[in-house]
Structure formats: structure tokens, C-alpha cells
A = this chain, B = another copy of it.
């Protein structure tokens, strides 16, 4: 007798029962559908890359979290995001690609993080990027925002707000302020919403930043209102350095074009407090908040970058993109009871033969339902009738077709609605109609 081992998975990995997996896949399908409708095309890079390729970009936390191993003479690593593989891909196949290159990838990435609630070591990222060859119009930044809008509108999770900012405006402000350590100011801007104005003022004072400069920063981050009014404010700040002016120009163009993409004003806002880490992004940046569940944090983030693949090619490849961390989002939606799987199966109709003499006929009935586009299955096990109905019940299958000898001979089958318990004699054509109408 084999020794039995307790079946389990590692901590920090998400694995779902079918009911939740169905829900998860529906969200994934929605995102994919919106990406594809917008002309983004799929790529599927390997899970395992050469270690040196991933290490070219990694560093700090990322490098520590990398899953690295050897096999034969090769040093391997699991991808920790989809952006580094994209950079490698675009550099590698550059002569074969047409630009602007619009791609999506929805795949698992791997990070050996410290295990903690709601953090995952293996999770899906759903990424889109538009990569230009040498140049890429800033109108693409408006289009990316419209894609985010269409995704969250289609997902119907909650009212949502896409917050945008432009890193050039932040850098231009820092240049104007001539502070010694710009990172401190950016960090303060980033967290003002969380810790409040006073706490930020104290921190800036501790950094020996002049009261005059502090009040300019505070006034800056407090700007709310319509995109046009924020742009008017920025233009009136009297900051004339090239970076700041360019930032306003880009932001204004994004706002101008968002109108053509018909993204309602209620779904986006300029938020001068968003910063998005400290490197990589060079222009527009995005965060997306679910209005009723702000605590979740941003559910879709990204931005514009000057050069995607400098580690792998001397071609200048500017781009803009966003990512949805679907595993974490799904976990939070479940935790918050915002989504819930209510059926363990895609099956809409279970066809149940009363006994073995009607099993063949039942199989034929199931086939007709499938041909009509209905997900159906036959209960094939030779068990008591009650157990057959019990399976439908536990799986959450909404309809059962019961077939005994009488039903087989007359062609009038018995349709049981599992919600109401009502049983109705109907032809196969009528059953198809009822089930399709009650999708």
C-alpha cells in the first residue's frame, strides 16, 4: 500500500474551486475581449527566460524575489512581470514587427515574496502596450485610458475613476523647487491622501524645505476639479522650465483627445498626487480606483515610457501601457464579497435518464441541446434517481430534463426547473426555447 501524502499547495498561490474559477475566467475573457476589440494582438512569451535577460532589468526587491535555478548548462529564471519579456520580444523580433506594435499578454508572473495575506507569489497580469518606433503620438495615451474605461465599464464591478497625471509635471515642479532630495518630495506627494496634509508638512519641514516651497507643493497637490480647470491652474503656476511646460502640453492633449474617445468626465480625473514608483515612467501615468472600494487601491495602473528595450537594442522604442493584476484584484473582490460564484458548472441542462434503457436516447437529447448552443451533459452513472437530481442541485445546474420510457416513446420530455421545482412536459424544441430565453 502506498503511503498517503497530504495534498496541499504552497502558501501564496491562488487555486480556486470551479465556481470561482468560472467567475475568474469570465473576468479574464471580458478583459481579453476589450483588448482584442481595440486591435491589440496576443503574444505569449515563455514562463522561463534566461536569467541574464531578466537580471538586465531587475534589481533591488525584484532581484531578491526572482525564482532562479539551473538545468544543464543553463541559468534560468521565471518571469516576474510581462514588461521585461515584452522588451526582449520587441528587440528580438524588431524586423518582423509593424509599428505602432499593439500587443496584449495575459499570463502568470512569479515573485518569491514574503508570504502575507492578499499577496501572491504566482499571479496573472493582464497587460496592454502600444510601442512606437522612435516616436509615438501622445494621443495613444488617451486611447489607453479609453481601453481602461471600456474594461471596467464592461466588468460592472462598481463605479470607477481613472486618475491620470504626468511625470514631467512632477519633475518640472521639483526642478522649480530646487530641492536637494526630489525623492522625498515625490514620496510626500504620493502619500498625502493616506497620511493627510499636516503629516506631509511636518515631513517636508524635517527635510529642511522652505515654508514657501512647502506651501507651493501643498497647493499643487490639493488641486481638484475638472481636467480643464486643473490644466488652467497648472498653466497659471508660473513655472517655465521645459519639462513642466512639456508635461502640461502632453496632459492637455490627452484630455483633449479623451473627449473623442467619449470617456465620460465622471470616469476620469487629473490627480496630481499620483506618482507611480520612482523610475521607468516618463509621461502620462494612470491609476484606477473603484469608487465604492477605495481601500483596494489601484486596480489598473501604468503609464508612458521613453524607451522600452534599451537593455536589448539601440533602437528607441517609446511606449504606453497598463496592467491589471487580476489574481490580486479577484482575491480582493472575493474578500469584499463584491463578486461571488453561484454555480459550480457551466452546464445549463442536465439530461437524466430514468434508467439504463433511456440512456442512449438521453445522450441524443443532450447532443441536440449542445447543437443549439446550450451547455448540457447527460448523467451517465447508474444510481438512484434522487442521487442524480442531487448532483444537479449541488452543481447549481438550473434545468434538468428527465427521460423515462414514456418520455422517450412520446418525445414529450419532462423539464424540471431546479429553482421552482416545477416540472413541465415539453418537446426538445420547446426546451431549447425555454432555456435560451432564460439565459
Within the assembled complex, what's the spacing in Å between the Cα atoms of A21 and B101?
14
Asked if A36 contacts B375 (CB within 8 A), the reply is: yes
Number of identical monomers bound together in the oligomeric complex:
2
Chain B residues within 8 Å of A135, by CB? 381
Q: 1/0 per residue A371-409: CB within 8 Å of B?
A: 001011110111000000001001100000000000000
Q: Which residue on chain B has the smallest CB distance to residue A124?
A: B44
Asked if A8 contacts B261 (CB within 8 A), the reply is: no
Chain B residues within 8 Å of A367, by CB? 261-262
User: How far in angstroms is the closest Cβ of chain B from A141?
Assistant: 10
Asked if A46 contacts B377 (CB within 8 A), the reply is: no
Q: Assess whether A280 is interfacial by the CB under 8 Å rule.
A: no
Q: Assess whether A232 is interfacial by the CB under 8 Å rule.
A: no
One of B4, B43, B373 near A21 (C-beta < 8 A): B43
Asked if A10 contacts B74 (CB within 8 A), the reply is: yes
Within the assembled complex, what's the spacing in Å between the Cα atoms of A360 and B103?
23
Within the assembled complex, what's the spacing in Å between the Cα atoms of A381 and B381?
62
Chain B residues within 8 Å of A97, by CB? 17-18
One of B9, B96, B140 near A380 (C-beta < 8 A): B140
Asked if A391 contacts B98 (CB within 8 A), the reply is: yes
Chain B residues within 8 Å of A17, by CB? 93, 96-97
Asked if A137 contacts B15 (CB within 8 A), the reply is: no
Asked if B48 contacts A122 (CB within 8 A), the reply is: yes
Q: Assess whether A76 is interfacial by the CB under 8 Å rule.
A: yes
Partner-binding segment picked from A181-189, A214-222, A307-315: A307-315
Chain B residues within 8 Å of A100, by CB? 380-381
Asked if A71 contacts B67 (CB within 8 A), the reply is: yes
Within 8 A of B (CB), among A98-143: 98-100, 102-103, 108, 110, 112, 121-122, 132, 135-137, 139-140, 143
Asked if A41 contacts B68 (CB within 8 A), the reply is: no
Chain B residues within 8 Å of A10, by CB? 46, 48-50, 74, 76
Asked whether A377 and B102 contact (CB < 8 A) given A68-B69, A363-B260, the answer is yes
Please count how many residues in chain A sit with their CB below 8 Å of the partner chain's CB atoms.
Answer: 101
Asked whether A312 and B5 contact (CB < 8 A) given A93-B17, A102-B377, the answer is yes
Chain B residues within 8 Å of A110, by CB? 47-48
Q: Assess whether A344 is interfacial by the CB under 8 Å rule.
A: yes
Q: Assess whether A56 is interfacial by the CB under 8 Å rule.
A: yes
Asked whether A13 and B346 contact (CB < 8 A) given A21-B41, A311-B5, A395-B98, the answer is no
User: How far in angstroms is the closest Cβ of chain B from A271?
Assistant: 24
Chain B residues within 8 Å of A44, by CB? 15-16, 21, 24
Within the assembled complex, what's the spacing in Å between the Cα atoms of A53 and B112?
19
Within the assembled complex, what's the spacing in Å between the Cα atoms of A75 and B372?
49
Q: Assess whether A264 is interfacial by the CB under 8 Å rule.
A: no
For A37, A56, A72, A382, the residue with the greatest tally of chain B CB atoms inside 10 Å of its CB is: A37
Asked if B314 contacts A4 (CB within 8 A), the reply is: yes
Asked whether A41 and B18 contact (CB < 8 A) given A2-B310, A7-B88, A68-B69, the answer is yes
**Can you list 9 A-B contacts with CB-CB less than 8 angstroms, sorted by A residue number?**
A2-B311, A7-B53, A7-B87, A8-B50, A22-B41, A36-B375, A67-B69, A143-B363, A261-B367
New A-B contacts (16) at CB < 8 Å, excluding given A2-B310, A9-B50: A7-B53, A7-B309, A9-B88, A14-B46, A16-B44, A17-B96, A17-B97, A18-B97, A24-B44, A38-B370, A39-B346, A41-B344, A46-B122, A48-B122, A257-B363, A261-B367
Q: Which 4 A-B pairs have the closest CB atoms?
A: A39-B377, A69-B69, A7-B92, A7-B312
Residues in A lying within 8 Å of B, measured CB to CB: 2, 4-10, 13-18, 21-22, 24-25, 36-39, 41-50, 52-53, 56, 67-69, 71-72, 74, 76, 78, 87-89, 91-93, 96-100, 102-103, 108, 110, 112, 121-122, 132, 135-137, 139-140, 143, 257, 259-262, 309-314, 344-347, 359-361, 363-364, 367, 370, 373, 375-378, 380-382, 391, 394-395
